[in-house]
A = this chain, B = another copy of it.
Amino acid sequence: MMIERGARNEASAASKAESILAAAKRMFLESGFGAVSMDAIARAAGVSKATVYAHFAGKEELFGAVIARECERYLSEFSTGELDPGNARTSLAMLGRRFLELLLSPDALALHRIILGEVGRFPALGEVFWRAGPERNLGQIEAFLTAAARAGSLEITDARLAAEQFAALVRGEVQLRHLLRLEQNADGPGVATLVDAAVDTFLRAFGRRGPQR
């Protein structure tokens, strides 16, 4: 009797923690930290405020849990196994397209906005995010560039620097325009077009024998 009640409550507790995190994620990413109240989160999650405080010590801890969780989702993103170091153009276009599609996804944009907006108040956010997102992407790009240089399809001396420059070319100004809400994902030239332009420029700088001319 007490055991049954305990078991049911444990399951219920896990599920409620989940609803709280889901509601908090949605509201924080949408409206920022300061504009969201614990009351609103509790209401959206269908629980009482006291329940929220039973699971999370306070608003800041709940915020940290949400952001850390979202950052970790990026850690299990794509692999680079199927890239061909012998074919730089095709591989870079594929790498760049996945990179840019991730950057322009609504969740990633919202995460960027809130982290940049709150990194002053929560300094730890900066490093958590950097390691979960940008640094990891740069590492993958650098690994491919190193392999491609070894395979002879690229002429690269400083792979880390080249990786940063490739990432910068792909990102261009389009990410900023999206962050500022000047463009929606559909507007403007498509992702593929932007990436192709970036790959063109990158290969003119680092390609072994320019492909055209």
Interface residues of A (CB under 8 A from B): 30-35, 110, 112-121, 123, 125-127, 129-130, 134, 138, 161, 164-165, 167-169, 171-173, 176-177, 179-182, 197-198, 201-202, 204-206
The answer, among B120, B125, B126, B201, for a CB contact under 8 Å with A165, is: B201
Copies in the assembly, this chain: 2
The answer, among B30, B34, B164, for a CB contact under 8 Å with A173, is: B164
Task: Tell me what chain A mostly uses at the interface: helix, strand, loop, or mixed.
Answer: helix
Q: Let me know if B180 and A172 touch, CB within 8 A.
A: no
Most buried by B among A129, A130, A138, A205: A205
Closest 5 CB pairs of A and B: A117-B117, A34-B34, A126-B180, A204-B205, A205-B205
Q: How far is the CA of A168 from the CA of B195 in the complex (A)?
A: 13
Most buried by B among A164, A167, A198, A206: A164
Most buried by B among A125, A126, A202: A126
Q: How far is the CA of A26 from the CA of B168 in the complex (A)?
A: 31
Given contacts A113-B117, A179-B116, contact A165 B198 (CB under 8 A): yes
The answer, among B120, B165, B167, for a CB contact under 8 Å with A113, is: B120
Q: How far is the CA of A129 from the CA of B176 in the complex (A)?
A: 11
Given contacts A117-B32, A120-B31, A204-B204, contact A168 B177 (CB under 8 A): no
Q: How far is the CA of A129 from the CA of B179 in the complex (A)?
A: 12
Q: How far is the CA of A116 from the CA of B112 in the complex (A)?
A: 8
Q: How far is the CA of A171 from the CA of B118 in the complex (A)?
A: 22
Q: How far is the CA of A138 from the CA of B31 in the complex (A)?
A: 30
Instruction: Give the residues in chain B near A117, CB-CB below 8 Å.
Output: 32, 113-114, 116-118
